Amino acid sequence: ATYEDWAREDSYHKSFLMARDEVLEYALANSEAKGLPDIAVTPAQGKYLKLLAQSIGAKRILELGTLGGYSTIWLGRALPEDGELVTCEYVQKHADVARENLDRAGLLSKVKIVVGPATETLAKMDKKEPFDFIFVDADKPNYPTYFKQCRQLVRKGGAIFVDNVIRRGGVSDLSITDDVRINGVREMLEVVKEDKGMDATTIGTVGEKGYDGFMYAVRLE
Long-range contacts of 30-34 (CB under 8 A, 24+ apart): 30/68, 30/97, 30/100, 30/101, 30/104, 31/67, 31/68, 31/70, 31/97, 31/101, 34/68, 34/93, 34/97
Rounded Cα–Cα distance for residues 74 and 70 (Å): 7
The site map against ligand SAM for 8-47 (x = CB under 6 A) is -------------------------------xxx------
Binding-site member from 71, 101, 149, 205 for ligand SAM (CB under 6 A): 71
Among the listed ranges 90-98, 176-184, 187-195, 212-220, the one in contact with ligand SAM (CB under 6 A) is 90-98
Binding-site member from 94, 140, 167, 219 for ligand SAM (CB under 6 A): 94
Rounded Cα–Cα distance for residues 67 and 89 (Å): 7
Pairing of strands 198-207, 154-163: unpaired
In this structure, the number of other CB atoms found within 10 A of the CB of residue 157 comes to 12
Under the criterion CB under 6 A, does residue 78 sit at the interface with ligand SAM?
no
Rounded Cα–Cα distance for residues 95 and 63 (Å): 13
Closest CA to 4 of 152, 206, 161: 206
Under the criterion CB under 6 A, does residue 67 sit at the interface with ligand SAM?
yes
Binding-site member from 24, 44, 75, 88 for ligand SAM (CB under 6 A): 88
- Judged by CB under 6 A, the chain residues 136 through 175 that form the site for ligand SAM are 137-139, 142
Closest CA to 141 of 183, 87, 99: 183
Binding-site member from 24, 53, 61, 70 for ligand SAM (CB under 6 A): 70
Supply the minimum distance, in Å, between the C-beta of residue 13 and ligand SAM.
Answer: 19
Under the criterion CB under 6 A, does residue 91 sit at the interface with ligand SAM?
yes
Among the listed ranges 54-62, 86-94, 104-112, 191-199, the one in contact with ligand SAM (CB under 6 A) is 86-94
Supply the minimum distance, in Å, between the C-beta of residue 97 and ligand SAM.
Answer: 10
By beta-carbon proximity to ligand SAM, the closer residue of 74 and 132 is 74
- Judged by CB under 6 A, the chain residues 101 through 140 that form the site for ligand SAM are 117-118, 137-139
Alpha helices for the chain (secondary structure H): 3-17, 22-33, 43-55, 70-76, 92-104, 118-123, 143-153, 180-194
Which residues contact ligand SAM by CB under 6 A? 39-41, 65-67, 70-71, 88-91, 94, 117-118, 137-139, 142
